[in-house]
Structure 1
């Protein structure tokens, strides 16, 4: 099973499973997969070189600041607010969703992640994304067959995305761009990427996703939803179009 390649397929993924208190944990991923085609998750490396699923590289506990990169996995389980719910990436990919989006937060995870995905025959249904140009290019070099996504998080890497995009599989556009470009401006940007042959995935940082998705999602190939249950209900209420064109694997 592979990620669909035609423009008319629409996919729904859970952003960190479900955004919120339990995001990037197995309970959040399992819940998301009741509604979504796949999951988006963040990948970091611990001090003892375990791949873990956490968005932030630092956290506070017991009045101290800890860095994930400096802790062993056992120490992370003991100190992190999620405690024993902090999953290893190998536990996440065992869920074997139809589609995975692994968002790389540490350049050193690339080789180990690719090995794990290949071992479970999941590489063809995974998009490995980054918001750093150098890291996106590193993924391309180390795995020419990988599907690489580039996430826009600032005006600077928006400009980079317009220059770099040879061999990139997808551009991940935040709904928050509508605050600067307006809906019409974001639609124009989407069409520009489409003319370059790129797939467009939408994601959210701080916006009300259902306030914007009705105007944007018909032009997108995927939505990485903070609340996939809510977005799934919205899609199911549409009279025609989106639900009919979704990927059914």
Structure 2
């Protein structure tokens, strides 16, 4: 209980200081699997905190045995639920709803469930404040699921906020055929920029390197959204130097495991610049 009180106290405090933090020129922070260092990854509590803090987030989509689109990173249930070594694709949605997806993180989250994509989109639609960036990482979706995914984004009118990535080029083309408004993203390194532009399939360039401002300007002139994929744990991904470099390059957003720490760094930089 103490941990849960602390968690929501942090959220509430952050909400109080948001007006001082948010600067229009700062990139949108996109929390990897939700606020995964503060709540169970890929769950509604993790997503809810992001939305309340005006932070975007990334989520992972897989399919149950009976075709429900659900949010879970691993195919195996072992790491983030009490479902053992079974595969998410081999159980039904009803079975998935019986699993505990929170206790592994902390006992106060006991009873947290694996969310469906629709539940997640409902939450986004109801709770988001203005525009945001939601990265839909497609891990395992069949042809019926592709149509369902596009239909759900249309149902909740979230085409402007969401984009799909990590799927094959063939799936990307099928998704575009289902609805051209669905934006397609992909991880892109520096060497493949020109090839990806020539293909003209991507709407969102999820860069795997720290770009120069001239590169960002070039992509923006082509009508692309420019993000930096800095997801993952560890010191190398928790670099204030890198955070400042991508901010200076004027990217649109950054995928990170450390959105709250990064926000503090950018806030201090904004205060320092304001005092000059």
Q: Which TM-score band applies after superposition, normalised by the shorter structure?
A: 0.7 to 0.9
Q: 1:200 aligns with which of 196, 212, 226?
A: 226
- SS of alignment partner, residue 141 of structure 1: helix
For 1:7-156, what aligned pairs fall within 5 Å after superposition?
10-20=27-37, 22-60=40-78, 65-79=85-99, 81-82=101-102, 84-95=112-123, 96=125, 97=128, 98-99=131-132, 100-108=134-142, 109-152=145-188
Whether 2:268 is the aligned partner of 1:237: answer: yes
TM-score by length of 1: 0.74
Shift of 1:41: 1.3
Q: Is the 8 A contact 2:35 2:257 kept in 1?
A: yes
What is the RMSD of the two structures over their aligned residues, measured on CA atoms?
A: 3.2
- Greater share of strand residues, 1 or 2? 1
For 1:216 and 1:242, locate their aligned partners in 2 and report how far apart those are by CA, in whole Å: 17
Q: 2:243 aligns with which of 203, 207, 213?
A: 213
- SS of alignment partner, residue 247 of structure 2: helix
For 2:52 and 2:93, locate their aligned partners in 1 and report how far apart those are by CA, in whole Å: 29
TM-superposition CA deviations, 1:25-46 (whole Å, max 9, x none): 1111111223234222111111
TM-score by length of 2: 0.68
For 2:273 and 2:93, locate their aligned partners in 1 and report how far apart those are by CA, in whole Å: 42
Q: Is the 8 A contact 1:43 1:55 kept in 2?
A: yes
- SS of alignment partner, residue 202 of structure 2: coil
Q: Is the 8 A contact 2:216 2:226 kept in 1?
A: yes
Shift of 1:233: 2.0
Q: Is the 8 A contact 1:29 1:39 kept in 2?
A: yes
- Determine which structure has more spread, i.e. the larger CA radius of gyration: 2
For 1:223 and 1:239, locate their aligned partners in 2 and report how far apart those are by CA, in whole Å: 17
Q: Which sections of structure 1, spanning at least 5 residues, go unmatched?
A: 1-7, 178-182, 244-249
Q: Is the 8 A contact 2:40 2:46 kept in 1?
A: yes
- Number of equivalences: 224
For 2:191 and 2:63, locate their aligned partners in 1 and report how far apart those are by CA, in whole Å: 29
Q: Is the 8 A contact 1:200 1:222 kept in 2?
A: yes
- SS of alignment partner, residue 135 of structure 2: strand
Q: Is the 8 A contact 1:107 1:135 kept in 2?
A: no
For 1:242 and 1:201, locate their aligned partners in 2 and report how far apart those are by CA, in whole Å: 24
